[in-house]
A and B are shown apart, each in its own frame.
Chain A
Amino acid sequence: MQHAIVCKELHKRYESGAKAVDAVNGLDLEVRVAECFGLLGPNGAGKTTTVEILEGLLKPTAGEVEVLGIRWNCGRDHELRQKLGITLQETKLQEKLTVLETLRLFRSFYDSGAEPEDVIRLVSLEDKAKAWVRKLSGGQRQRLAVACALIGEPELLFLDEPTTGLDPQARRQVWDIVNNLKASGATILLTTHYMDEAEKLCDRVAIMDHGKIITLGTPRELIAQMGSEHVIEFGLLQDGEAEDEVPPETFLDVPSVRSAVRESHGYLLTVSQPHVAIPALLQRLAKEDLQLSSLTTRHINLEDVFVGLTGRRLDEE
């Protein structure tokens, strides 16, 4: 089996009265065995809906889905679920059970799997093994959720926004767990709206927006797509309509600039040589009688890829 997940022309439409919302709008996806695949996109892009369809928790309006060679609702659901590990967005577990009791419960659903104590060690929750779920911090709960996904020793792991709402230390702990899983050869599908997470963890990334995949590749490939390695972000002093009068295209002829888009707080230029572009930009602004309010320059990242493609940031609503 080449592919862990194959998904063709996936559609999911929600109708409410006269309005219809296409949460997933024609999505094709292939996830290879033993890869860590990321679905990156802002809130509302349709990531969770897509993943829930792949997990068999939601029925698509149209399209084909094959997970580990098996289709949902064809009589082999129970068999397929034995091989999957899933964390949902917003972990929901029984509050008044202990960590150990929760894992024993989940373990009992699988024909074969790991010992709860071993999985507890994997997620570093040893000293909380006998604590009630209610008493765990957000980061600890998330680690428990991952533990519940691992207890069946799955072939394919779905992690939906595994570090949303966690502090930096907790995020790093979850990343460590994911890296260890990668090393052990599991296939992972991860959804996130954090580009640093996608860059650090994923072998390949698909960027989603409005129910579609807008670009797909390794993080390096996606960045290279932009044609340059650096980014200049700047803002202009507001003068009423001053900013509205200056379309981003005006900066395209500044030397070394590859692309220019408007952001909510200013402009984003991708450039190949910042030491050439910056002086030229300053000259241009002076000539047009525009004043800078801010200027930063850095290496390009996946977020810039998204902004470059859509004109919006990942963390905007």
Chain B
Amino acid sequence: MTKYNPLWQLITTRIRQFFREPEAIFWTYGFPLLMIVGLGIAFRNKVEPPVAFVVVEGPAFAQVTDALKDNERFKVTAHSNDDAFDRLKNNKTPVVVTITDEGLYEYHFDPTNPESKAARDRIDDALQRAAGRQDVLRVEDRTVTAPGSRYIDFLVPGLIGMNLMSGGMWGIGFVLVDMRVRNLLKRLLATPMRRSHFLLSMVGGRAMFFIPEMLFLLAGAYLIFQVPVVGSLLSLMVVSFVGALSFCGLGLLTACRAKRIETISGLMNLVMLPMWLMSGIFFSSDRFPDFLQPFIQALPLTLLINALRAVMLNGESLLGQTGPLLALSAWGGISFVLALRWFRWN
């Protein structure tokens, strides 16, 4: 009786289909890891290089280099007037310094460029001190490097969330429409297979995949960039599990009626694009204006990534995430029920 359990057979079929599809393996494992490595390298914390800036040639150059002669944090070069401002316009120097005949120091820079602004402040600070400005307060810097405060630490939970979303949406949605298009669903329907079993197996298959995916990405991030998991690994797994299932439901709903591959591709992008942009994968969702925030915070991916970060970076407990987890479950549960009702089998 249990030798041939239909739900189990359907789930193992799903698993076999996945692992026998090389592209699926790349997009699920290879791609996110490549993103982590790529972005991690691009945004790595660099030892601060010296600030390089330009002074227009003439007596000003001698004055400035003289003032900064013992300061290794600056690299000054001289150029003709035209050349200097050309460089400024083309972002080759953050600041151009000129001194008027009356002895007024002029800083030419772009205040909207954070690098330029910072350079201007540093140059001014150094020049003022060289000219004799005194600090009034006694000051000592005590630096703290918290684990999980680098960009890469911020990024990894974002990418994990993104991966859980793509896995659920593409892994289920696309596969379903493909099966529908190729009349595979029709053949299965001609058997006594229960429809709910079929849909559950898609979700169940996904539930089994996500664990190795998660562990793979976490291990990769830890080994390459020492990204820590401050909270409990188990809590992280539970949060991911809820997230994965939630996107399964969403994937089922998105694909429940699409008849063609083009339709499902369009729908998938429509659903995922806002989340790609606004849910805080690559940068904080706070950057978006206030009137969008209620919408953004309700999105499933935002909920998931916030919870992942809370556990991974801040070490928060599972209990603290009950709110987001319930919301995610609601997204998933309601989507699944609607999908079951609206599902087009032919």
Contact = CB atoms under 8 A, between A and B. Distances in A.
Interface in B166-194: 182-184, 186-187, 189-194
A97 B194 CA distance: 21
A111 B191 CA distance: 11
Interface in B183-234: 183-184, 186-187, 189-194
Contacts of A88: 183, 186-187, 190
Contact of A57 (B17, B21, B186): B186
Interface string A97-133: 1000100111111110000000000000000000000
Contacts, number: 62
Among A55, A88, A92, A148, the one with the most B-chain Cβ atoms within 10 Å of its Cβ is A92
A96 B10 contact: no
A96 B17 contact: yes
Given A78-B194, A92-B182, A105 B10 contact: yes
Nearest to A116: B4
Interface in B8-27: 8-10, 13, 16-17, 20-21
B143 interface: no
Given A94-B13, A104-B4, A109 B187 contact: no
Nearest to A81: B192
A55 B190 contact: yes
A93 interface: yes
Interface of A: 55, 57, 78, 81-82, 84, 86, 88, 90-94, 96-97, 101, 104-111, 148, 152
B21 to A, nearest CB: 7
Nearest to B197: A109
Interface residues of B, number: 23
B4 A96 contact: no
Contacts of B182: 92
Among B4, B183, B346, the one with the most A-chain Cβ atoms within 10 Å of its Cβ is B4
A109 B6 contact: yes
B6 to A, nearest CB: 4
Nearest to B345: A57
A93 B190 contact: no
Nearest to B9: A108
B5 interface: yes
Contact of A97 (B6, B17, B183): B17
A108 B4 contact: yes
A107 B4 contact: yes
A53 to B, nearest CB: 13
B183 A101 contact: no
Contacts of B17: 94, 96-97
A66 B193 CA distance: 21
Nearest to B182: A92
A162 to B, nearest CB: 14
A57 B189 CA distance: 8
